Structure 1
């Protein structure tokens, strides 16, 4: 019986070493997708060479690479940008918006001016002395 306990302790130590070498495995525990016990059981069943342990690690690596590429692409685009042309484009856009506002204001119905008779309560246009 002591041999079984010793063997179990040895497997736990091996699993700890595996987790230290592959910290991405613990993300499932942190996200509460799996318990540590479940991960240990899967590790015992499939072994540490199973591809499922490395899929998430590869996904993370791909995400990091794509983020670096997108940031690098934005920086190179900023370097190549001619800010005078950008300013001209903004001014043209602003002018176009102003023109559209002018056209729209011509089509809006203008409120009818009220006659002086409608403002008083009396139907007669003269005042009482």
Structure 2
């Protein structure tokens, strides 16, 4: 395959990237794109402070423990929030909610048992469906 000849500015940018391998990591991490880096390099030049910033951000090993600390702080905050909510709960109110939930589940079970059918048997506790003759009048 014949290799295309690159524009001189693109060739210079490739050399610049080879001298600054941290830029490759920036693109791989998704923090930026090659197009953005090229445009910045073309407009700002090789001596801009942006390029030093990229190298310093990735070279600092102290950032990783800080990130871990923030993650543990977030987990700690979550646990403390949950514990705070548990401490604020009223046991009587919780019992009331549990009773309401139990009644709702009982009602759902009753509806399901009606739809499943009990082979013609009436569910226990239901009164008979009324008199056979709905027009019962007394004679004088």
Question: In which range does the TM-score fall when normalised by the shorter chain?
Answer: 0.3 to 0.5
Which structure has more RCO (C-alpha within 8 Å, separation ≥ 6)?
2
Query: Which is helix-richer, 1 or 2?
Result: 1
- Structure 1 length-normalised TM: 0.44
